[in-house]
Amino acid sequence: MDFGWTDEQRLWRRAVRDFAQNEIAPRVREIDEEEFIPREIVKGMADMGLLAPTVGEEYGGAGADWMMATIAAEELGRADISLAVPVMYLVEAAWGFIFYQYGSSALKEQYLPRVTSGEAFLGIATTEPGGGSDILGACRTRAQRDDGHWVLNGEKVYISGVRESLDWGGIHLLLTRTDFDEAAGHRAFTFFALPLKGTDGIAPTYFDDMGRMGISTGGFALDEVRLPLEHQVGDLNRGFYHAMEGFSAARTLIGATCVGASETALAMGMDQIKLRQAFGRPIASFEGIQFPLADLYTDLEGVRLSTYKAAWMMDRMYQDGEATHHDIALAAAMAKLKAPRLGFSIMNEVADWHGAMAYTKECPIEMGIRGIRSYSIGAEGTPNVMRMIIARELLGKDFLPTLYTEKS
């Protein structure tokens, strides 16, 4: 057991913190109001190796392992509590890795260097109007072979980075049904690399989010969209499993970025309670303030450790084969279940400590509250789905709720 950092990890954390605190933190309010991430921030992230860092160097990535990617996620969350920049980062880091693992060389050659240099966006599109976390039930977008092409029809909603992809170019990894036999179960889905920009048959739509305003949320309908065969990513009908792999990665990074934002909130709160006076003394001296602080800090440290353990297990799996997909699914689900909810509680508590100012835009905490709520609702899996995964790993597949749904 070793809770220390390697030299490389320590230097990387310092570098990302330096960059994020200097270049991102002072502009969070501006990002939230203008509703986009300034190009120079994206460029700066590219120069540092912060865009899709898990992609190999041959495509301009950094070849980062999950521990390093998770450190960066925490630091970006610490700098941008609205979570806009972290969302952009983690979507590309997690799903860029899936594309890097399973995409064809030609396709990767075409897109990844532009993603890692910040000229293009790489996103994920699984959720549909019928739902997100329950892929089996909700994924109705269809892909069918026709005359040397794939033809896609359907609709995706609540997708991050639709505007970015349409503006800059790039791809969304699109999950579609490719086997229409009910008996195919989870072996019915396939990923495609879908460029939203310049593709015929795409009808985009946008949602006006409550938070993390710097990155767009949208959707698109696909009407007879034709993609060349090479745009298939990964094996035919193995998309569900590729998705699970990507979800585990994304959930770990979400855990870290929520931890980072929570640390900032708690630090702000501690500054505030030391300064703010009530009844002739700093409010930090009241047990009614101290005890919640102690509880929240303790919970946060626990979540932080479990998040880094998830990252460590991912590296054990990808580097040494010492962990399984089950191990990482469990570890990542625990991080994703706890971190956003705890972060939301911390921000609420810290808002209380600030008094009325917290309810105004003079105080950044409201951006944090609006931003982190996204991850405690869903985005890469709802809390209840996290609980199902955790219970599945504890109890085994015989008790999966879906088995009983099907039986009844």
Partner 1 sequence: MHIVVCTKYTPDSEAKMSVDEEGNISWGDSPLIINPWDEYSVEEALRLRDEHGGTVTVLSMGPDVALEALKHAVAMGADEAVRVWDEACAGSDTLATSYVLAKAVEKMGDVDLVLCGKSAIDAQTWQTGVALATRLGWPSLMYAINLVELDREQRSITVERLLEEGRQVVEAPLPAVLGTTKGINEPRYTSFIGIRKAAQMEYPLWTLEDIGADREKVGPQGSGVRWPEVFEPPAREAEAEIIEAETIEEEARILVDRILAEKVI
Residues at the contact surface with partner 1, assessed by CB under 8 A = 6-8, 11-12, 14-15, 18-19, 44, 47-50, 53, 57, 62, 64, 68
Q: Least distance (Å) from partner 1 to the CB of residue 238?
A: 30
Q: CA 351 to CA 359: how far, in whole Å?
A: 8
Q: Least distance (Å) from partner 1 to the CB of residue 5?
A: 11
**The residue type at 109:** E
Q: Least distance (Å) from partner 1 to the CB of residue 50?
A: 7
Of the candidates 170, 169, 190, the one whose C-alpha atom is nearest the C-alpha of residue 179 is: 190
Q: Least distance (Å) from partner 1 to the CB of residue 160?
A: 23
User: Which of 63/129 has CB closer to partner 1?
Assistant: 63
User: Which of 47/322 has CB closer to partner 1?
Assistant: 47
User: Which of 48/369 has CB closer to partner 1?
Assistant: 48
Q: Least distance (Å) from partner 1 to the CB of residue 264?
A: 16
Q: Least distance (Å) from partner 1 to the CB of residue 250?
A: 20
Q: Least distance (Å) from partner 1 to the CB of residue 265?
A: 20
How far, CA to CA in Å, does 171 sit from each of 92, 210, 236, 364?
Answer: 10, 25, 19, 32
User: Which of 75/380 has CB closer to partner 1?
Assistant: 75
Of the candidates 319, 316, 338, the one whose C-alpha atom is nearest the C-alpha of residue 327 is: 316
**The residue type at 78:** R
Element (H, E) at 133: none
User: Which of 8/271 has CB closer to partner 1?
Assistant: 8
User: Which of 48/152 has CB closer to partner 1?
Assistant: 48
**φ, ψ for residue 57 (rounded to 5)?**
-65, -25
Burial of 270 (0-12, 13-18, 19+ CB in 10 A): middle
How far, CA to CA in Å, does 241 sit from each of 185, 277, 399?
Answer: 12, 55, 20
DSSP single-letter state for residue 147:
T
Q: Least distance (Å) from partner 1 to the CB of residue 19?
A: 5
User: Which of 46/136 has CB closer to partner 1?
Assistant: 46
Q: Least distance (Å) from partner 1 to the CB of residue 57?
A: 7
User: Which of 10/145 has CB closer to partner 1?
Assistant: 10
Alpha helices in 128-280 (DSSP H): 135-138, 162-168, 239-275
Of the candidates 120, 119, 117, 325, the one whose C-alpha atom is nearest the C-alpha of residue 238 is: 325
Q: CA 117 to CA 383: how far, in whole Å?
A: 34
Of the candidates 67, 140, 25, 138, the one whose C-alpha atom is nearest the C-alpha of residue 310 is: 67
Q: CA 229 to CA 243: how far, in whole Å?
A: 20
DSSP per residue over 45-88, as a string?
A: HHHHT-SSTTS-GGGT-----HHHHHHHHHHHHHH-TT-HHHHH
User: Which of 14/361 has CB closer to partner 1?
Assistant: 14
Describe the crossing of helices 287-315 and 239-275 by its angle, rounded to 10 degrees.
150
Q: Least distance (Å) from partner 1 to the CB of residue 21?
A: 10
Burial of 362 (0-12, 13-18, 19+ CB in 10 A): exposed
User: Which of 281/397 has CB closer to partner 1?
Assistant: 281
Q: Least distance (Å) from partner 1 to the CB of residue 358?
A: 24
User: Which of 49/103 has CB closer to partner 1?
Assistant: 49
